[in-house]
Amino acid sequence: MKYYTENIAPDSFSGSIFALEGIWDACAVLNGPTGCKFYHSAISDSQFPRTATYNPLEFTEGFYFGQPRVPSTYLDGNDYIFGSGDKIANILKSAVQKGYALIAVINSPGAALIGDDLARFLKEEVKGIPCFSLENTGFSGSFGSGYQTAILSALLAIGVNGEKPAGDTVKKKTVNLLGLCIYQKYYDQNYLAIKNLLALCGIEVIAALGAGDSVAALRRMTCAALNVVVYPEYGAAIAEYLKTGYGMPSVCPEEGPPLGFDAAAAFVRQVCAALDADPQKALDTIDRARARAYRHLSRFSSLLGLPKGTLFSIKAEASTAYALSKWLCGYLGMIPAAISVLPDSDSGFTEKLRGFLTGIHYQDTLKNPIIETATHILLADGNTIAELKVYGQQCCGIEIALPVLGYLDITEKTLFGGQGALFLLEQILNGLRFVIR
């Protein structure tokens, strides 16, 4: 059966824009129609606001349309015939005046057909500021491919081009975090959770590409002793580039992102082992969270034994689905109903997930359609949660990805580490109270 409400996965075009908007002082200039602008601008500002206040009347100038992010050349029919050169020149003049440390022009898929010489306009209008253009983001490519293409282009533009700066020395017990992105749910607090755990081990984070750090921080990243690929779907190619150009080693956590107590502990141990650091203080923090979880679980499950035996479904990247599945099955005793892995997920984690599910005799859950399969708990993006509700599923939806249903997250939340595990557990237990009667 064809479900026309199914969420459309963001592609390489969106990945490129959000990668650049995730750099504190960078600007993604969109060469395209206004329809390509509004969503990307709204998400960039809501996920990663750069100003304390917001007044649409402050952004009534041309190219912005009441939004502070992702200025657009608002292409129309004439531009596709005669070219958009005047608009590109004017929008670059506007961007230069705002004091960005990096400016990039990104073609929409339609604008790529016009053939405007973006490099020439950048050379003429942008002086003394690193800049580059993305003539073609890959069109229907994956979000991860577009994200990594944009990040690599940004690194080249700011001078991280494979040549070690004079006097640039490696700092012991330092890391870069690869694969974080402002399009991820709670990306900022996930970043902070990792920083705090590693700080307990005496490890400093130099930069997290595309997760809110500045151009200056990205320039310092070659000083790090290790690159940690938090999400291989969004960081593997970047890690390979840095290894080839600078000889920087990298690790990809074997248990996936630090989702759940065991994966968080494994994450800390693996990074500490690579840097010869002591993981004990961070592990103690995770164990304290585990002890708090036990007190609540023992009371919640005392009568019915829940959440053991309840069904869960996941829609996410393979790395995320693997970490969550192991935690939900192993720690909470829940049963997988349907697991939908996003397109172009990491092949290694896809096989790990398949192997894990085969080992517990639930390999068919990878084939089960997530909309048609009954479940108690669904961990997915907001659109997928809404879709199940539309088709009559009685389940508790937990948002772990964008797009969201519109709930305003005002208090700080994270999915990573011990606190992240407690947050997910809180939602699962409260959700089951209303789903199972």
Reported as a single tens digit per residue, the pLDDT across 167-192 is 678 999 999 999 999 999 999 999 99
342-352 mean pLDDT: 94
pLDDT for the residue numbered 83: 76
Q: What is the C-alpha to C-alpha distance for residues 364 and 376, in angstroms, rounded to an integer?
A: 18
CB 161 within 8 Å of CB 153: no
CB 219 within 8 Å of CB 160: yes
Peptide bond into 403 cis (omega under 30): yes
The answer to which of 82-86, 322-326, 421-425 has the lowest mean pLDDT is 82-86
Tokens of 219: 């320039």
327-346 mean pLDDT: 96
pLDDT for the residue numbered 57: 76
366-390 mean pLDDT: 95
Beta strands 131-134 and 174-178 are unpaired
Q: What is the C-alpha to C-alpha distance for residues 378 and 399, in angstroms, rounded to an integer?
A: 8
Q: DSSP letters of 187-208? A: HHHHHHHHHHHHHHTT-EEEEE
pLDDT for the residue numbered 37: 93
User: What amino acid is encoded at 203 in this protein?
Assistant: I
Please check whether the two domains, 174-283 and 295-435, share a CATH topology. Answer: yes
The residue ranking higher by pLDDT, 55 or 265, is 265
Q: What is the C-alpha to C-alpha distance for residues 298 and 292, in angstroms, rounded to an integer?
A: 10
- Cβ atoms within 10 Å, residue 166: 5
pLDDT for the residue numbered 166: 64
Conformation bin of residue 279: beta by default, left when phi > 0, alpha when psi is -120 to 50:
alpha
Q: How far is CA 91 from the centre of its chain?
A: 28
Tokens of 426: 């809180």
CATH topology classification for 174-283:
Rossmann fold (3.40.50)
Q: Looking at the DSSP assignment, which residues form a beta bridge with residue 381?
A: 401
Asked whether residue 4 carries a pLDDT value surpassing 70, the answer given is no
Q: What is the C-alpha to C-alpha distance for residues 149 and 209, in angstroms, rounded to an integer?
A: 12
The residue ranking higher by pLDDT, 394 or 353, is 353
Architecture of domain 12-142+152-157: 3-Layer(aba) Sandwich (3.40)
* pLDDT grade for 110, boundaries at 50, 70 and 90: confident
pLDDT for the residue numbered 425: 98
For the segment 224-277, what is each residue's pLDDT rounded down to a tens digit?
A: 999 999 999 999 999 999 999 999 999 999 999 999 999 999 999 999 999 999
Asked whether residue 295 carries a pLDDT value surpassing 60, the answer given is yes
360-387 mean pLDDT: 95
Q: What is the C-alpha to C-alpha distance for residues 269 and 276, in angstroms, rounded to an integer?
A: 10
Asked whether residue 428 carries a pLDDT value surpassing 60, the answer given is yes
The answer to which of 156-170, 206-220, 264-278, 311-325 has the lowest mean pLDDT is 156-170
pLDDT for the residue numbered 203: 98
User: What amino acid is encoded at 258 in this protein?
Assistant: P
110-127 mean pLDDT: 89
Asked whether residue 399 carries a pLDDT value surpassing 90, the answer given is yes
For the segment 126-174, what is each residue's pLDDT rounded down to a tens digit?
A: 999 999 999 988 777 899 999 999 999 999 999 998 877 766 789 999 9
> Which residue has 């956590």 as its token pair?
253
Tell me the backbone φ, ψ of residue 182, rounded to 5 degrees: -70, -10
Asked whether residue 55 carries a pLDDT value surpassing 90, the answer given is no
CB 369 within 8 Å of CB 389: no
Residues of the chain with pLDDT > 70: what percent? 97
Q: DSSP letter at 112?
A: G
97-122 mean pLDDT: 90
Q: What is the C-alpha to C-alpha distance for residues 343 and 9, in angstroms, rounded to an integer?
A: 9
| CATH of span 295-435 | 3.40.50.1980
Beta strands 131-134 and 26-31 are unpaired
Tokens of 303: 């009568």
Locate the DSSP E strands across 179-252: 204-208, 226-229, 250-251
Asked whether residue 358 carries a pLDDT value surpassing 60, the answer given is yes
396-425 mean pLDDT: 96
202-220 mean pLDDT: 97
Residue 251: C-alpha distances to residues 217, 223, 275, 312, 346 (Å):
21, 16, 11, 30, 15
CB 391 within 8 Å of CB 375: no
Tell me how many helices (H) and strands (E) the chain has: 15, 11
Tokens of 243: 């290894």
Asked whether residue 56 carries a pLDDT value surpassing 90, the answer given is no
Residue 9: C-alpha distances to residues 15, 177, 232, 344, 381 (Å):
11, 24, 18, 11, 10
Burial of 115 (0-12, 13-18, 19+ CB in 10 A): exposed
* pLDDT grade for 331, boundaries at 50, 70 and 90: very high
Tokens of 385: 């949660």
Q: What is the C-alpha to C-alpha distance for residues 306 and 296, in angstroms, rounded to an integer?
A: 12
pLDDT for the residue numbered 7: 66
CA torsion angle 171 174 179 180 (round to 10): -120
Task: Parse the chain into domains and list their residue ranges.
Answer: 12-142+152-157, 174-283, 295-435
* pLDDT grade for 435, boundaries at 50, 70 and 90: confident
195-220 mean pLDDT: 97
